[in-house]
Structure 1
Amino acid sequence: MDHGSDEEGEDYPLLIEQRCYQEDDQRDGKSRTLQSYWVRVRQPSPSWIIIIYTCYQIIFGILAVPELNATFALICHQRHTGQTQKDAPNTRDLAGELQQCFASEDAQADLSRFTMYGQMIAGLLGAISSPILGSLSDRVGRKPILACVAIGPLIYEAIMVSVLRYPDSINMHWLLVGYASQGLSGSLITVTSTSQAYITDLVRLRARARLFSYLQAALSLAASLGPVISGLLLTLPNSLENIYKSAVYAHLSLILIFLFVLPESRSSHLDNAERDESTPEQNTSETYLQIFLQSLRSLKEYSTFLQRNIVILAGIDMFIFGILIGLFPLQLAYPAYLFKWQPTTQSFFTSMVNSWSILVLVLIFPMIMARVRRWKKITITPSLSLFNVGELGAIQASLALQIIGYVGIALARSPGVFIFSSFIVASAAPLTPLLTSCLTAHTPDHQSGQLLGFLSFLHAIARVGVPALLNATYSMTIGIYPAPLFLLLSIIIAGLLIASMSIRTSTNTL
């Protein structure tokens, strides 16, 4: 028994020791697994930028409706209703004063002019700063530029909070400084192009189109989800100031995420030489004007009908982009004037229209195009066609839908007709991707960078010129006839539709 107990005594610590080794091995294995997982997470990936870009856009989607109403409320207070109430400074009910100005033609005109000035300042400075920031992103990395882009909106929102808190002490013209900061930081154009550059650093050419489409989906998601959130927030007390305070914190958080969380893509597996060879479109040291002139020279190599096709398609794309940028605030101010819509109503209207456009893009349009391809008999040799089956017809149908929709908005005298007409306009959502697809089909792959520079320069012009035209028209005519803006849009788009009918689809004419 003693011997057995000695064996038991000798075996016992060995078993304990073996068990300890096994537990240590398991802990080491788990530690190595967690460590390898963390290393994988910290590697630069397109998923990082897509998620953060979506958050960035959702912030702007939330601010879309409050932006209009905060500016309108300040105009009402400082130029109209507040002028007769100087006895109690800094205690104004801005939301209550806003209700009094919805039907004021003078206030509507002031809002349009102020929006025009702000967009012109932001657009002109953005056209200058965007290529500079793009060039810097190639040198210093994507992270600092993305953080810089978030600084401009942060400054604007801080100014807006100050003006909303002290509307009698701080003039709302300080908001123009905020617009200037947004333009200098590049805003939407720079954050989109830098995000695309981040993805380009990491993936090869054939995978980029799919990932770029995710960025476009993020824009649509923000346009649909943001107004729903803002509509709920606008029902709270002192909602405008609190929304902009939250936006300040959100952009501060984004800056920290860009600087300290987001992995840098420029130190990815591609070395500089390979990256420069594989991504010629990222040579952003050239200005938009230089790329534009280079693109014009390259157009001379094409036949006359190809040149005409490119010019017509690019012109349509330019005006549609400008309308998308400049029309949104006016499309909210108009029903507020005509139907006395409250901010919450505007938010849910915007969300519904954008949700419908997403449904058209991802479900209805692909189904229609698939049916058209099955029904339509191809009458020319596919290799000689510059367009996929039905693409040109879809462009022309989208333009026709916009004409019908804007005429309906101009003639609308009830909310139901206005909403139905707005849904018709939203049904033309596939127009922009269709135009891009058709334009790229006209140029060889090695000149796609020149085409993007060409379109970027036209977009920079459209971002300034078209919103200025729309706001000037609205401000000058709101007191005479309430809907000439939408009639003007119908005429312009009708001209684009007529021009599209001269586009040739086949290379047989070469």
Structure 2
Amino acid sequence: MHQGRLENEGCPLLPDEDQDQCSNDHGHGTSRKVKSLRDPSPAWIILLWGMFAMSGGTFVVPEFNASLALVCHQRYAPSSSQPNPQTGQLTLMEELELCLGDKNAQADVSRLIVYCQFTAGILSAITAPILGSLSDRIGRKPILALSTTGILLYNVVMLLILRYPDAIDVRWILVGYAIEGLGGTYITAIAASQAYITDLSSPRERATLFSYIQACTSLAQAAGPLIAGILIASINSFEGVYWISFACYLLLTILFIFVLPESRWARSTENPGINLDNPSMTENPLRQVYTSCKSLWESSANRRGNLAILAVIEQFVFGVMTCLPPLQMAYSSYLFHWRPTTQSFYMALVNTWSILVLVVLFPVIMSVVRRQIRRKRNRTHSTVFNTGELGAIRTSLCLQILGYAGVALTRSPEWFIFCSLIFACGNPVTPLLTSSLTAHVPSEHSGHLLGMLSFMHAIGRITIPTALNATYSVTIGVFPQALFVVLAVSVAGLLLSSLCVKSYGLGSSR
């Protein structure tokens, strides 16, 4: 026992890349050899997260269209078509097609989305930090199961409304979103998944393992809408699609509870020095945010300014990515009368192109840029300038401005698709911003930075979708392109603010 402790005396508390052997053999966050399938392993959570992400990506399109169909049925009740001969009335699918271009229905469903996202966002902002701290005490499995249970119960609410659309008001969807928010939504699920990986991996391995999580998410964004289009075309019933969604999340909940090995106990067993009752693990979430802000603010004036500018840009981009897909579907259904299957293939095309840019084109371009910078040997003080990341951020923002402005100026579906592909080229700005932000802080403060960004994401998930959906609902009957004008102007303002990012000395720690 004492011998093991002496062997670990030479290992630093914060190992660097050359000292990973210490973290592989001792201390928390160890890289463990898996003896059997029942042993905890990062492969478990990557597999289950892939299933979780695919379920979420598949049901984005049906969720929006089911809400619009319910609004049409309960508020406007189209009657200009022949009823179903078997039931004597129009199906929800048929009513949806009749009111795709109805500006009042579009405005109503946009307001409903505002209320739903605001409800889920507020509740998840409150519960996510609490559940994150709780996972350190009771383990990752219960938190992951809770997040899927919240979505499962939301599906139950939707099934009831779709089954009895004449008896249950569409506004009961808010109850489903509230339940999902109390479960932490996908924000808690991805945080718990990353914590699971952190428990079982060394610092050297984590970047690769986290990239697998991102790859699963990107694959779900591309393939999910395609699967949704096939399901809608085959079943032709929103209720049938939601039964499949219910089955998927029920299976995930069962797998999280009964199949997934717990990583937290493996970590604490291998490192008995970890105290799960440490007060820092139960610290008030607001206190944690204050501590993170204070530690990040204690730096040079240039770094403070850079962090503020880049963090605001990152928050806005995250908020837009959260709420833009439903707005794209609403806009295309109103202007072009696209059916759910057409919307599904459109979303699959845009997301697939975005992934190709991020995975194939972007790394090649950045490699060429960095090679030219090294050849010129024109090195400034800061890492952000040395690697060309700041220029890439500005280029990505310019592409987003061009795409949004192009959508606002056209009423052609072909040009709408083309301009959507243009602003999708700007999606690499998200990892660029994260990389640039982490380059501004010492490694011992990276946890504070990521905690602060998580808090800003929670706030951005409330404010930005609320503002954009409100804009769309107010202007849909007058100037539907106003949404994309607002986006183009907002991103242009962010581009101008990025010009204020300044270099700083690498050796300066303050």
TM-score tier (shorter): 0.7 to 0.9
1:342-401 deviation line (CA, Å, top 9, x unaligned): 100100110111111111111100010111122234554477534442110000000000
Distance 1:284 1:361 in 2: 36
CA contact (8 A) 2:303 2:504 kept: no
Residue 56 of structure 2: SS of its match in structure 1?
helix
1:237–1:381: structure 2 CA closer, same or farther, 3 Å change rule? closer
Q: How does 1:89-488 map to 2 (within 5 A)?
A: 91-271=89-269, 276=274, 285-376=282-373, 377-381=375-379, 384-488=382-486
Instruction: Using the TM superposition, give the Cα deviation of residue 290 of structure 1 relative to its aligned residue in structure 2, in angstroms.
Output: 2.1
Instruction: Using the TM superposition, give the Cα deviation of residue 505 of structure 1 relative to its aligned residue in structure 2, in angstroms.
Output: 3.1
CA contact (8 A) 2:34 2:41 kept: no
2:3 corresponds to = none
Q: Which moved more, 1:111-120 or 1:327-336?
A: 327-336
1:463–1:274: structure 2 CA closer, same or farther, 3 Å change rule? farther
1:237-274 deviation line (CA, Å, top 9, x unaligned): 44211110011111111111001110110122554857
Amino acid at match of 2:366: M
Distance 2:306 2:128 in 1: 28
Distance 2:151 2:114 in 1: 18
1:198–1:80: structure 2 CA closer, same or farther, 3 Å change rule? same
Q: CA RMSD in A?
A: 2.5
Q: In the alignment, which of 28, 31, 56 is matched to residue 60 of structure 1?
A: 56
Distance 1:362 1:228 in 2: 20
1:393–1:276: structure 2 CA closer, same or farther, 3 Å change rule? farther
Q: Which moved more, 1:370-379 or 1:399-408?
A: 370-379
Distance 1:47 1:382 in 2: 41
1:276–1:214: structure 2 CA closer, same or farther, 3 Å change rule? farther
Amino acid at match of 2:39: Q
Instruction: Using the TM superposition, give the Cα deviation of residue 39 of structure 1 relative to its aligned residue in structure 2, in angstroms.
Output: 5.0
1:508–1:198: structure 2 CA closer, same or farther, 3 Å change rule? closer
1:131–1:40: structure 2 CA closer, same or farther, 3 Å change rule? same
Distance 1:275 1:462 in 2: 37
Amino acid at match of 2:475: T
Normalised TM-score (structure 2): 0.88
CA contact (8 A) 2:296 2:445 kept: no
CA contact (8 A) 1:378 1:389 kept: no
Instruction: Using the TM superposition, give the Cα deviation of residue 411 of structure 1 relative to its aligned residue in structure 2, in angstroms.
Output: 1.1
How many matched pairs?
A: 471
Residue 127 of structure 2: SS of its match in structure 1?
helix
Distance 2:301 2:88 in 1: 64
1:384–1:167: structure 2 CA closer, same or farther, 3 Å change rule? closer
Instruction: Using the TM superposition, give the Cα deviation of residue 428 of structure 1 relative to its aligned residue in structure 2, in angstroms.
Output: 1.0
Distance 1:289 1:43 in 2: 35
Residue 282 of structure 2: SS of its match in structure 1?
coil
Amino acid at match of 1:138: D
Amino acid at match of 1:349: Y
CA contact (8 A) 2:106 2:334 kept: yes
Distance 1:170 1:276 in 2: 50
Residue 160 of structure 1: SS of its match in structure 2?
helix
1:110–1:222: structure 2 CA closer, same or farther, 3 Å change rule? same
CA contact (8 A) 1:403 1:494 kept: yes
Amino acid at match of 1:317: E
Q: Rg: which structure is higher?
A: 1
1:430-463 deviation line (CA, Å, top 9, x unaligned): 1110000010011111111110111111111101
1:170-205 deviation line (CA, Å, top 9, x unaligned): 111111100001100001100000000000100111
CA contact (8 A) 1:385 1:507 kept: no
Distance 2:280 2:340 in 1: 43
CA contact (8 A) 1:310 1:442 kept: yes
1:159–1:501: structure 2 CA closer, same or farther, 3 Å change rule? same
CA contact (8 A) 1:90 1:166 kept: no
Distance 1:283 1:317 in 2: 28
Q: Which moved more, 1:116-125 or 1:351-360?
A: 351-360
Higher-helix-fraction structure: 1
CA contact (8 A) 1:402 1:424 kept: yes
Distance 1:472 1:153 in 2: 25
Instruction: Using the TM superposition, give the Cα deviation of residue 83 of structure 1 relative to its aligned residue in structure 2, in angstroms.
Output: 8.8
Q: Which moved more, 1:396-405 or 1:206-215?
A: 206-215
Gaps of 5+ in 2: 1-32
Distance 1:470 1:129 in 2: 24
1:413–1:283: structure 2 CA closer, same or farther, 3 Å change rule? farther
1:267–1:82: structure 2 CA closer, same or farther, 3 Å change rule? same
Residue 53 of structure 1: SS of its match in structure 2?
helix
Instruction: Using the TM superposition, give the Cα deviation of residue 38 of structure 1 relative to its aligned residue in structure 2, in angstroms.
Output: 10
2:493 corresponds to = 495
Gaps of 5+ in 1: 1-36
1:389–1:446: structure 2 CA closer, same or farther, 3 Å change rule? same
Distance 1:269 1:166 in 2: 48
CA contact (8 A) 2:400 2:488 kept: yes
